Structure 1
Amino acid sequence: MACSRPEMLLYVELYVLLTTLLIAFLTVFGSWRRRSHSLKLRYSIWASYLLSTYLINYTMGLMKTATFRHDLFSVWAVFLIIFLGSADCISAYSLEDCENRKRYNLEVFVMYFWLGWLIGVHTQKFEHMIPLYLLYFLSLRRTGCRAKALELASKSYGLVRNTKLVADFMEDESNREGDEADPTCMRGYKYLVKGEKKAKVKVQAPHYHMQFETTEDPKVITIDMIWQCKGRLLSSTGDPDGRLKDICLSYALYRLLCRRFAKYSFPESSQLKTWNFVRYGLLSKEGDHERAFRVIEMELGFLYDLFYTKYPVLFAKGLPLLRNFEFIIVIFGCWVVVPTLIHYQEGTGDWYLATSSGRNLDALLTGVVLLAILFMEIVQFFVVNFSDWAKVQWLCYYVEKSSLQKNKCMEMIIRVICHRKLLKPWDRKLSQYSLLESFSHNPSVLLYNCCTSPYIDKPRNGLKLSAHVTLPTGVKKAIIHSLKTNGRTLTNGVASLQRNGVNVPSWASQLPTQTHVIMVWHIATSLCELNLSSQVIVTGEQVNHQRESEDFIVATKLSKYCAYLVAFAPRLTPDHPYITEFIFDHVVVEAREKLKGCEKSICQKMFNLCKDGRKKRISEKMLTIGQEGGDQEILVKGAKLGKHLIETIKENGQRWKILAEFWAEMMLFVAPSDDETAHAEHLAMGGEFVTHLWALLSHAGILKRDSAQDV
């Protein structure tokens, strides 16, 4: 049965309101997405991102098929398109969206076709049609920015084109003999920051490299120019801890890292000055581990923005002045429209809709949409103008223009902008997984069954995350200490064992794959932890002290993080991803066979009771398994190794020191990877600590394990 006019109008209004709220949610909370591991937030944003386009198309279809005219149809349609294109902080949900940019362009083309038709059909007065068409072209620009952002992030199109100049510049710089580089003052480090789009570029045979016509062009800002700037803002008194200069350094490093995604070479990786940049530049002082990870964290924030937001497009030609001008227009437009809505009483007869208090429902809905637009624009105005991209632009203007260096007022404005941090690029969390705690876990049958299998993948048995932990400072210190100690030579923990004079069974250092090494040592570390927990009450104070020690925290957290990578992120580990999954699945089977009777009971699963009793049973069972001989299974090897460490290293503190150094070395060994796509995908899910190490080692010239060289 066909809908009556009031019913049809009500349906349209409900869909307009729902779509508006979805896109507003997408826009505002998309800013927080990159720093959150929250599955609920990610799924909510995914639903908003996916449903918005379909709901807009459906709503416009309802308007088109309506048997009556309504002046506000065209207004609502314009608002919906403006909403769709105004989400600056999220242009794509996944990397596949960037590669499927042509599909998005086609969808937008269809929307704009129907939008133009709706404005022409449902706008009765010509004077109302003009502002609507102006908004039409405003929304066209905004959706065009999103299309441009998808194009820039496409690894098969925009990324390779926009990165070639940086790749050619770095290759030419690597081949050019110059003065001795000094990483403490960045002399000799010609890392591009900004300005190349204003400079004149030529193509030079025979290599057909893109080159600047004049290498001393003042418009081109390199990182050594930032450090040599004489302005008070960037001096030792104006910027004592170097945080402002480090913002530009992060941006320059981000541009260098883009070469890995575009599959360009890293010619400077073989140069000693590249290693010196990290060892004697970023890590020149004691305690510089915080600075190094702060720089890398901001760098990965820029990388996230490249793939998933519109910021690279907004700041492509400098500060987003046009975007800010649009913000002013929106504010002024809302102020002008509000009085009209207050006195709006259009609509008579059988299609007049009103609330119980007599207010016109059409005007009320339009007011809600206007408030949502206003709220969205205000939030985005501050997020965009206080973003790291804006800070880089201001600092580059400051270095380029000597007049700004003499203007105290401008220095104060730049300092205020650069010292405000609205969003963190990463929530600094370490995911954790413990095989001995989670081996008996089975996915929920209610959620994962034959009915849901076409839509969601069923997790493998034994996959249950432990609670995330905040990244401990001790972990960063231990990894940087290991990097300084071993230099560019990466080992999977063998060097730390030799340095500490630890004798382990020969098979423990000659395992077939790195997955074997990680899982065997993870099981051994977990057994040491369980043994510490089950020690007699007489030494309780000493045990508690050891559990709070920095070495204990480093060893256990990195052990569980590496096990998490094997279980949940095999593409970020050294071995083939499917081989890693296959081995892990069989280790779970082994654990279920060997540890029968140690599974969680129903009460434990529901109320988390008797945890200490279960841990004690597992510890005793594992120590018994460790006495067995002849087995080649990973679980048995882990039990034997754990028992060996407990028996041969009697002092708990020494044992945890050895394990902490082992896992710090292992973490660095795992980090190098050629699967840069996997790292980019995990940036959209909150980010991974191993990605920070991967970026850090890339800038130190360590791209592969087998090519790591001694200093």
Structure 2
Amino acid sequence: MLKLITGLVVPLLFIKKLWEHWNIVGAILFSLMLQTFLTLVAPFRRSTRDRCLLVIIWCAYLIADATASFAIGLISNNVRSPCDSSGKEEDDLLAFWAPFLLLHLGCPDPITAFSLEDNELWQRHMLSLILQAVASLYVFFQSLSHNKLELPTFLMFIAGIIKYSERIWALYRASTDSFSKYLLQDKDPGPDYALLMDKFACMRDGHLPTKTITVEQPEKEDKDVKLGKLSDLEVLHYAYHFFETFKGLVVDLVFSRHARKESRDFFKVREPEDALRVIEVELNFMCGVFYTKMMIMRSSVGYVFRIIACGSILAALALFHFHTNQSKYEPFNVKITYSLILGALALEFVSFLMLVFSDWTFSSPVHSALNPLALIYRCFLALTKSSWHSIPGNEVQVLGTPLFRRWSGSVSGHNFVRYCRKSSPTTMLKFTSWWDLIVVRKRVKE
């Protein structure tokens, strides 16, 4: 028994020393790895039916916040007091690393929420922002008396606050109450409404004859519905138009009779392929609103925030590379610092590419024809186009999208009879490949 205990002590001591030496670096690098994984893999969440991949993305989404918060706690616990003169140079790097974790807490642009309920937790994230910002400032002020990296640290702190604020703003805008208020704009009664109501009140109080006339709103002229095949850009424009019309249904708002008639007239003359493509892009727009930062990134304030954040990171990189005596620090810690800065810039660049080649960029038909990227985007849209192909041994054809799918291609349903009988659910059609959609048609026999 004594030998067994002695044999366990040595590995435990080794693990303890390993943890004491690598805890901060390991947590920071693991946080950066999670951010990279979510940036690259999270967009596939909307286009896959693989539960294993969804569980992995969900776990990474939850662990990312915990890892960044844990790393900030480790840094604040290991930073030395201003009275301690030993290891001050390394404390400068610790203070410089803390804002990067605020940047990570801002989460990647492709995923701000995993479910609609996550959007309702924006107040919790606001409290977390305050606490983590206070912890980062504590680390910064602890090293302020001897810190040679105060300006790069301050710039990264600005970038981290902006990124985390973007996440909170995106969650708030996608929450049920905020989304309803955003759609229900204040009515504009016109400039003469107050004067007319004052006159009406005076005449009514003076017992003068008054009469209220109700004028029905004139019917809007029906737009000409395009017949025939839709081009890729036309699919995008119609999908955005109907998305703006019916997005209020998510928060139980009622749409007008004219909107219902317009939608019915449009889809009545569409081929099945075009109808599905329009609905597919609509779902993609809906996903961008409720689960990503797309609404914030496309706003004027979002553009300003993104320019300031990217500029702060670039300025911090320039100051650290050209105006810092890196020989004072351990070479390994310097490499970690470069990894954090370059990793942040790389993630921002990837997010920029995702924004440029997203459906939102060319959703408006006004400027898309004049955009110099329109030709490139038409080629990109060709990769997202669906096509029919046959299934061996079956008399149906499946509509599939091999590349850059916008949705999972399946819709969940609940069979009450099967639920009562406690039988396992079945599928309408067994998919032969991951890109097949649920829309089928009879194979035409020659």
Shared fold, TM over 0.5 = yes
Does the Cα contact within 8 Å between 1:268 and 1:274 map onto a contact in 2?
no
* Cα gap change, 1:80 to 1:178, in 2 (>3 Å): closer
Matched, 1:40 2:52: yes
Matched, 1:255 2:270: no
1:49 aligned residue (58, 61, 77): 61
1:364 aligned residue (319, 330, 335): 335
| 3-state SS in 1 of match to 2:363 | helix
1:257 maps to a residue whose letter is F
1:414 aligned residue (374, 379, 392): 374
Q: Partner of 2:218 in structure 1?
A: 176
Q: Distance in 1 between matches of 2:378 and 2:95?
A: 42
Q: Distance in 2 between matches of 1:390 and 1:316?
A: 12
Superposed, 1:247-286 pairs within 5 Å as 247-268=236-257, 272-280=261-269, 283=270
1:176 deviation in Å?
3.0
* Cα gap change, 1:295 to 1:318, in 2 (>3 Å): farther
2:357 aligned residue (376, 380, 386): 386
Q: Distance in 1 between matches of 2:342 and 2:282?
A: 35
| 3-state SS in 2 of match to 1:392 | coil
* Cα gap change, 1:474 to 1:67, in 2 (>3 Å): closer
* Cα gap change, 1:128 to 1:588, in 2 (>3 Å): closer
Superposed, 1:37-436 pairs within 5 Å as 37-66=49-78, 68=80, 69=88, 70-85=91-106, 87-125=108-146, 128-155=149-176, 157-165=177-185, 175-184=217-226, 241-268=230-257, 272-280=261-269, 283=270, 288-317=271-300, 320=303, 322-324=305-307, 326-327=309-310, 329-331=312-314, 333-334=316-317, 336-338=319-321, 344-346=326-328, 360-392=331-363, 395-397=365-367, 410-417=370-377, 419-421=379-381
| 3-state SS in 2 of match to 1:420 | helix
* Cα gap change, 1:588 to 1:73, in 2 (>3 Å): closer
* Cα gap change, 1:338 to 1:271, in 2 (>3 Å): closer
* Cα gap change, 1:322 to 1:161, in 2 (>3 Å): same
* Cα gap change, 1:34 to 1:127, in 2 (>3 Å): same
1:652-696 CA-partner distances (Å, limit 9, x unpaired): xxxxxxxxxxx89xxxxxxxxxxxxxxxxxxxxx99859xxxxxx
1:11 maps to a residue whose letter is N
Does the Cα contact within 8 Å between 2:232 and 2:382 map onto a contact in 1?
no
1:158-194 CA-partner distances (Å, limit 9, x unpaired): 21112224999xxxxx953133543228xxxxxxxxx
Q: Distance in 1 between matches of 2:158 and 2:259?
A: 51
Q: Partner of 1:583 in structure 2?
A: 420
1:583 maps to a residue whose letter is C
Q: Partner of 1:29 in structure 2?
A: 41
Q: Distance in 2 between matches of 1:296 and 1:390?
A: 18
1:392 maps to a residue whose letter is S
Task: Identify the structure with bigger relative contact order (alpha carbons < 8 Å, sequence gap 6+).
Answer: 2
Q: Distance in 2 between matches of 1:4 and 1:275?
A: 67
Q: Distance in 2 between matches of 1:270 and 1:688?
A: 28
1:115 deviation in Å?
0.9
Does the Cα contact within 8 Å between 1:35 and 1:424 map onto a contact in 2?
no
1:262-319 CA-partner distances (Å, limit 9, x unpaired): 1111332796544222113xx1xxxx32222111111110101111100011113398
Does the Cα contact within 8 Å between 1:74 and 1:123 map onto a contact in 2?
no
1:550 deviation in Å?
3.0
2:42 maps to a residue whose letter is G
TM-align CA RMSD? 4.0
| 3-state SS in 2 of match to 1:345 | helix
Does the Cα contact within 8 Å between 2:71 and 2:101 map onto a contact in 1?
no
1:51 maps to a residue whose letter is I
Does the Cα contact within 8 Å between 1:8 and 1:66 map onto a contact in 2?
no
Does the Cα contact within 8 Å between 2:248 and 2:254 map onto a contact in 1?
yes
Does the Cα contact within 8 Å between 1:314 and 1:320 map onto a contact in 2?
yes
Flag structure 2 segments of 5+ consecutive residues without an equivalent.
Answer: 1-11, 81-87, 189-215, 400-409, 430-434, 440-446
Does the Cα contact within 8 Å between 1:16 and 1:59 map onto a contact in 2?
yes
Flag structure 1 segments of 5+ consecutive residues without an equivalent.
Answer: 169-173, 186-235, 348-353, 355-359, 399-404, 429-470, 476-543, 555-563, 590-662, 665-685, 691-711
1:566-610 CA-partner distances (Å, limit 9, x unpaired): xxx4xx34x6xxx4553341x469xxxxxxxxxxxxxxxxxxxxx
1:549 aligned residue (375, 382, 395): 395
1:183-209 CA-partner distances (Å, limit 9, x unpaired): 228xxxxxxxxxxxxxxxxxxxxxxxx
Q: Distance in 1 between matches of 2:79 and 2:156?
A: 26
2:252 maps to a residue whose letter is K
Q: Distance in 1 between matches of 2:352 and 2:233?
A: 22
* Cα gap change, 1:550 to 1:421, in 2 (>3 Å): closer
Does the Cα contact within 8 Å between 1:167 and 1:259 map onto a contact in 2?
no
Q: Distance in 2 between matches of 1:381 and 1:143?
A: 17
Percent of aligned pairs with the same residue? 19
1:391 maps to a residue whose letter is F
Q: Partner of 2:209 in structure 1?
A: none
1:415 deviation in Å?
3.3
Superposed, 1:501-650 pairs within 5 Å as 547-550=393-396, 569=412, 572-573=413-414, 579-580=416-417, 582-585=419-422, 587=423
| 3-state SS in 2 of match to 1:178 | coil
* Cα gap change, 1:76 to 1:7, in 2 (>3 Å): same
- Aligned residue-pair number: 374
Does the Cα contact within 8 Å between 2:155 and 2:315 map onto a contact in 1?
no
* Cα gap change, 1:273 to 1:66, in 2 (>3 Å): closer
1:13 aligned residue (18, 25, 31): 25
Does the Cα contact within 8 Å between 1:305 and 1:312 map onto a contact in 2?
yes
Does the Cα contact within 8 Å between 2:28 and 2:101 map onto a contact in 1?
yes
2:395 maps to a residue whose letter is S
1:6 deviation in Å?
8.9
* Cα gap change, 1:140 to 1:293, in 2 (>3 Å): same
2:419 maps to a residue whose letter is F
Q: Distance in 2 between matches of 1:262 and 1:687?
A: 31
Superposed, 1:401-480 pairs within 5 Å as 410-417=370-377, 419-421=379-381
